[in-house]
Amino acid sequence: MSRTPIIAGNWKMHLDHLEAIQLVQNLAYHLERADYEASELVVCPSFTSLRSIQTLIEGDRLELRLGAQDCHWEADGAFTGAVSVGMLARLKVAYVLCGHSERRQLFGETDEITNRKVRAVLAADLSPILCVGETLEQREADRAGEVVLAQLRGSLADIGADALERMVVAYEPVWAIGTGRTATPADADEMCGVVRRTIAEDFGEPVADGLRVLYGGSVKPGNVAELMRRSEIDGALVGGASLDPEDFAVICRWHRL
């Protein structure tokens, strides 16, 4: 089955809304029709920039899609500081990152919390980008496959196969995030294959065939093409390099490299 690749930029806690506007304008200047046709191009700004970027995308008719970096699972209520999926949907957000390793490690988010978020995102007809990935210690102990499998099963508990049509998974080994150390294309491909096989076992082949599995962790202009050539890798979730419009544009042009 042919799957439309996704190139998504996760800006993390960088850029105020004015800087975010400037980055998107600059990025759009570098992109051509063929780039939008080759992949879905997504930017995930911080909450305070979402409205500005939504307005820019609509005003300039850009074909960029909007993603959010997190959400709360409840529709509303006394959850100071939290943002609901409904609020994101009103801003035409299409994708929501769930269970990013920084949320897991720095904010104590468990598979159970991630599962609630994934379910809330799916219930609102948005697409979760569920992030999974092992630490260096786990990889060195030869436990990468087992860890990723447990994260997937925990985060996807009580979800029906039909709801998973819109799901995206990002395999992001923790040791490769922001370190300049990328998984080798072969290792990344193998782990994305583990993700797909687990989904096939639990939800059936058709769901697994349609599932887009992204790789994330020090994706740069110099390594994106080789990663994208691998059959199990359907795209990239890019941190640092997505903050530089020229670098991110080159990554979005992977199909021409």
Q: Select the residue interacting with ligand 13P from 140, 146, 178, 229 (CB under 6 A).
A: 178
Q: What backbone torsions phi and psi does residue 237 show, to the nearest 5 degrees?
A: -110, 115
Q: Are 227 and 233 in contact (CB under 8 A)?
A: yes
Tokens of 5: 């690749």
Q: Select the residue interacting with ligand 13P from 56, 121, 177, 195 (CB under 6 A).
A: 177
Q: Which CB, 145 or 216, lies closer to ligand 13P?
A: 216
Stretch that binds ligand 13P, among 72-80, 141-149, 216-224, 249-257 (CB under 6 A): 216-224
State in angstroms the smallest separation of the CB of 148 from ligand 13P: 15
Number of neighbours of residue 27 by Cβ within 10 angstroms: 22
User: Which residues carry out catalysis?
Assistant: 100, 172
Give the C-alpha separation, 45 to 21, whole Å. 10
The residue of the chain with the least Cβ separation from ligand 13P equals 239
Place of tokens 């990663």: 227
Beta strands in the chain (DSSP E): 6-10, 40-44, 65-68, 93-98, 127-132, 168-171, 212-216, 235-238
Stretch that binds ligand 13P, among 16-24, 118-126, 189-197, 235-243 (CB under 6 A): 235-243
Q: Select the residue interacting with ligand 13P from 67, 128, 145, 216 (CB under 6 A).
A: 216
Span 7-66, contacts to ligand 13P by CB under 6 A: 10
Residue 175 CB contacts under 8 Å (≥ 6 apart), including other chains? 134, 135, 136, 139, 181, 217
- DSSP line for 204-231: -HHHHHH-EEEEESS--TTTHHHHHTST
Q: Select the residue interacting with ligand 13P from 39, 84, 198, 218 (CB under 6 A).
A: 218
State in angstroms the smallest separation of the CB of 109 from ligand 13P: 14
Tell me the helices (H) and strands (E) count for the chain, helix number first.
Answer: 12, 8
State in angstroms the smallest separation of the CB of 161 from ligand 13P: 26
Binding of ligand 13P by 128 (CB under 6 A): no
Span 76-115, contacts to ligand 13P by CB under 6 A: 100
Q: Which CB, 148 or 219, lies closer to ligand 13P?
A: 219
Give the C-alpha separation, 155 to 99, whole Å. 8
Q: Kindly list the residues in this chain that would bind ligand 13P in the complex (CB under 6 A).
A: 10, 100, 172, 177-178, 216-219, 237-241
